[in-house]
Amino acid sequence: MNLPIRRSERVAFTGGAGWQLAGIVDLPVDTPSAMAVLAHCFTCSKDIKAAVRVARALAGAGYGVLRFDFMGLGDSQGNFADSNFSTNCADLLAAIRFVAEQYAPPSLLVGHSFGGAASLAVASEVPSVLGVSTIASPSDTQHLAALLERMNPAIATQGSGEVTIGGRSYLITQQMVADFRAYDMQHTLRNFTKPVLIFHAPGDETLRFSHALRLLEALTRGTSSHTSHHQDTHSLSSLISLPGADHLLTNRPGDVEYVAAMIATWWQRLLV
């Protein structure tokens, strides 16, 4: 008889804007070696295949992972049209606090696509976080604002408009795209002092591979004001290419297992 290697718990906590957010904590059967928080992609949810499989694989490797829905998405309360990058970051910080209070302070953040940008944006505010792993993540937030306005010019001319993403319609507001444009990701990356493990597919149909290259360049370049210790930390950031993979890691199931295994190995190194 095969014994279970993991278990899952449904949880709820208060997000950054006061809404009740829904999450699932995937855990090993025994006490987890460490805890992580996983942030999903734009308009996605905690139940997207990539998030589920990565979290479960990490739980099978002995770690605990909270995956949750940002406000207005999945099972979480709130209006998606009222959200933006700032609210995503606030929700992510609330999720980190929840994990710290209920389990243990998280030592790793994992972010898929836009969730990777949010993870990079907040990691420096959390002392317990030792590193961040991004999957198909952008090097800026402005590109999404421009893309959404190209999809429906009414967002810019009338203040809001609907766009179709993944077969579903979402109301996008001017406040959302304005917030995307206001965030300076390059400043965050140049001053980042924690290791980052970047995954990206050369053939990503949503975000060009150049985003991964810009992420790595900014993270490894740093600023002239950094100490030698910070420069050494920057040098730990690295990029793993995923040939043949798509943006959501659905083309080949083996890609998710590979990503999870690499994250688990890298995470163990950080903990040591």
Structure confidence by residue, pLDDT tens digits, 113-154: 999 999 999 999 999 999 999 999 999 999 999 999 999 999
* Cα 60 to the center of its chain, rounded Å: 20
User: Can you tell me the distance from the alpha carbon of 68 to that of 38, in angstroms, rounded to the nearest whole number?
Assistant: 7
The number of residues making up the chain comes to 272
The pTM of this model reads 0.93
Range with the lowest mean pLDDT among 1-10, 23-32, 170-179, 245-254?
A: 1-10
DSSP state at residue 68: E
Q: Are 110 and 119 in contact (CB under 8 A)?
A: yes
Helix H or strand E encompassing 73: none
Residue 225 confidence (pLDDT): 44
Domains defined for the chain, CATH in brackets: 6-139+184-271 (3.40.50.1820), 142-182 (no CATH)
User: Confidence band (pLDDT; 50, 70, 90) for 235?
Assistant: low
Average pLDDT over residues 175-202: 96
CA distances from 239 to 158, 180, 197, 198, 220 (A): 40, 25, 6, 5, 11
Average pLDDT over residues 67-79: 98
Average pLDDT over residues 237-243: 96
% of the chain exceeding 90 in pLDDT: 89
Q: Name the average pLDDT for the chain.
A: 93
DSSP state at residue 251: S
> Long-range contacts: 27-30, Cβ < 8 Å, 24+?
27/59, 27/64, 27/65, 28/59, 28/60, 28/61, 28/62, 28/63, 28/64, 29/3, 29/4, 29/5, 30/62
Helix H or strand E encompassing 156: helix 154-158
User: Can you tell me the distance from the alpha carbon of 96 to that of 118, in angstroms, rounded to the nearest whole number?
Assistant: 12
